Structure 1
Amino acid sequence: MTTPQTKHSPWIVPLKHSAAGSPSVFCFPYAGAGASVYRSWSKLFTPEMDLYAIQAPGRETRFSEDFVSSIPELASIVAKEILNTTDKPVVLFGHSLGAACAYETARALEHMGCSPELLILSGRQGPGSVSKRAPIAHLSDTEFLQHVLTYKGTPAAVLENEELMELLLPLLRADFALAEQYKPSPEPLLTCPVLGLGSTQDEWLDQESLERWGDLTLGSFESHWFEGDHFYLNHRTAELVSYVQKKITAQMKTRTTPSLLV
């Protein structure tokens, strides 16, 4: 592994730092969101783990920057930034669009010789299953926002604020286009363990589609379901964080080989 970087990376937002040797956890936001959606996790996370959030261009502190054109492009950059950020074992967590980004980043890390300790994919069907959500990125602004409003991921007060939406609309549309155009490659298979997370009232996800993620790794796979809708992570945050930490701790206890691939 590389030594940690000394200068700030715009891609990596540090939320909690530990001097211990436990893993560094990197969280990928869902469509339309930035690193701040994981800020509340810092108060819930154990002090023995590092916590970071990914900040892609075009949002929050990077609002004036151009969006990335594809998920693999984002993953290639983020993987390098992760290796420049930590010399500890790496855990990746992503929700919805963030799950696709986390998966591609895991692929990029393994290509660079570093396999994540655990890849946690939440709220997104595995590759090979047909999406239950119709594409909307191509719709007119009015139609597009009507659909986004029904997803309940962005507060209605924000969507109904014309000036604010004029600023946020390009980001939302770009992220939905990323998610809808993404065509994951199943090869080569990952070697790291994968944990798939879903929520019982998520109309876009079912057991079969979630478990498709298990087809993409030579490592172990298991799934777990929470109560709630697609954005359960914002409503059952404490329960989710507690479960994630438990699984990370259990995985670290089973380590028999270092992260570096041989």
Structure 2
Amino acid sequence: MRHPEGPMDDWWLRAGAGAGATGERARRRVVALPHAGGWPSAFRSWWQVLPPDAELLVAQLPGRGARLGEPPLASVEALVEALSRELAERDPLPYTVVGHSFGSVLGYELTRAMEQKGLAPDLLAVSARQPPCFPSLPPFAHLRSDAQLLEHLTEIGGMAPQLMTRPELVQPALRAIRADLEAMERHQRPLTGTGVPILALGAVDDPVVVAERLHLWSLETTGGFHRSLYTGGHFYLYAHANAAAIARRLLADRPGPTAGHPAPPTPGRPVPVPDGVPAPPPRKETP
């Protein structure tokens, strides 16, 4: 297994073969943002499957990993400001952004921020998160009790059941998860979308996200749009086989313009739902 190597700044952990383990110079970059409370190690399956010329940068937010002692931030804006600033300072490489669950919200806003700097990625892959046209509604998950939050995380596969009886281990994780959930649930859809093509990813058996809604990420870009579905529950993206298949697609494939692709809707107007796409009442999403 290839472990994280190479230099690390506060916000980005450089991992995988592209970090210099083989001496081969990276030609492409994958910028990855984990789920709520996720450590950089969430993407360990990805640094195992990426080719030697692909660099993996994984976000390391306050309150986890080497930054465990720092207080987490409960603001998408504050997180994206720091992430985009430090990403812009790195050596330029063609890159793709991939975010999972809460990481999709960060990835979307990071993409918009990098566009404003003239450093846009060539593709945004959003995974296991409903599009911004479906805002989070109360009761908010970040206001749940520790016991309720732990129970939910265990049900969706985000925490091992044996940790339910180890509060000394889970409390630091819960602080980061709660902060990320608050940031996600208070996030407001921006007035403008992105011109970067979007690839929406999800699992047909995800107990948290309505898979049919993923198509509506097409409303957030004036670029191309595609959608791909897999199996494996809410955390399907980290399964080795799925990681390998999706990584190959991100590095080799670029979604082209979709015929009749809709522009982002005017703020304040109802969001049109394409024929055949059900729009059930909003479902709560957690990490």
Q: Same fold (TM over 0.5)?
A: yes
TM range (shorter): 0.7 to 0.9
Q: 2:101 matched to 1:96?
A: yes
2: distance between equivalents of 1:144 and 1:35? 22
2:208 equivalent to 1:197? no
User: Does 2:11 correspond to 1:11?
Assistant: yes
Report if aligned partners of 1:186, 1:216 keep a CA contact under 8 Å in 2. no
Q: What residue is the counterpart of 2:284 in the other structure?
A: none
Unaligned runs of 5+ in 2: 1-5, 258-287
1:247 aligns with 2:246: no
Q: Find the counterpart in structure 1 of residue 177 from structure 2.
A: 172
- Asked if the contact 1:44–1:238 (Cα under 8 Å) also holds between the matched residues in 2, the reply is no
Aligned partner of 2:43 in structure 1 is 38
Q: Deviations over 1:122-177 (max 9, x none)?
A: 00001112559952211222223222222211111223312212332212221222
Q: Is the partner of 2:109 in helix, strand or coil?
A: helix
Query: What SS does structure 2 have at the residue aligned with 1:115?
Result: coil
Alignment equivalent of 1:152, drawn from 152, 157, 167: 157
User: 2:224·2:255 contact (CA, 8 Å) conserved in 1?
Assistant: no
Map of 1:73 onto structure 2 = 78
TM-score by length of 2: 0.79
Contact 2:63 2:172 in 1 (8 A): no
- Go from structure 1 to structure 2 and tell me whether the alpha carbon gap of 1:253 and 1:193 turns closer, same or farther (over 3 Å shift): closer
Identity rate of aligned residues, in percent?
28
How far 1:119 moved relative to its partner? 0.5
Contact kept? 1:71, 1:178, Cα under 8 Å: yes
Give RMSD over aligned pairs: 2.4
CA distance in structure 1 between the aligned counterparts of 2:254 and 2:127, rounded to whole angstroms: 18
Are 2:94 and 2:121, in contact at CA under 8 Å, matched by a contact in 1?
yes
For 1:178, give the aligned amino acid: A
Change (3 A) 1:132 1:199: farther
> Does residue 226 of structure 2 align to residue 216 of structure 1?
no
CA change 1:130–1:65 in 2 (3 A) is closer
Q: For the structure 1 residues 177 and 115, does the alpha-carbon distance in structure 2 shift closer, same or farther, using more than 3 Å as the test?
A: same
Secondary structure of the residue aligned to 1:196 is strand
- Count of aligned pairs between the two proteins: 247
> Which position in structure 1 is the counterpart of 2:140?
135
1:58 aligned partner: 63
Aligned to 1:48: 53
Match of 1:3 in 2: none
User: 1:203 deviation in Å?
Assistant: 2.7
1:237 aligns with: 240
Moved more, 13-22 or 62-71: 13-22
Q: C-alpha displacement at 1:62, in angstroms?
A: 0.1
What residue is the counterpart of 2:128 in the other structure? 123
User: Is the contact between residue 24 and residue 86 of structure 1 (CA under 8 Å) also seen in structure 2?
Assistant: no
8 Å Cα contact 2:75-2:182 kept in structure 1: no
Deviates more, 1:167-176 or 1:42-51: 167-176
Q: 1:143 to 1:44 in 2, by over 3 A?
A: same
Q: Are the aligned partners of 1:26 and 1:92 in contact in 2 as well (CA < 8 Å)? A: yes
Structure 1 203/85 Cα, relative in aligned 2: closer, same or farther at 3 Å? same
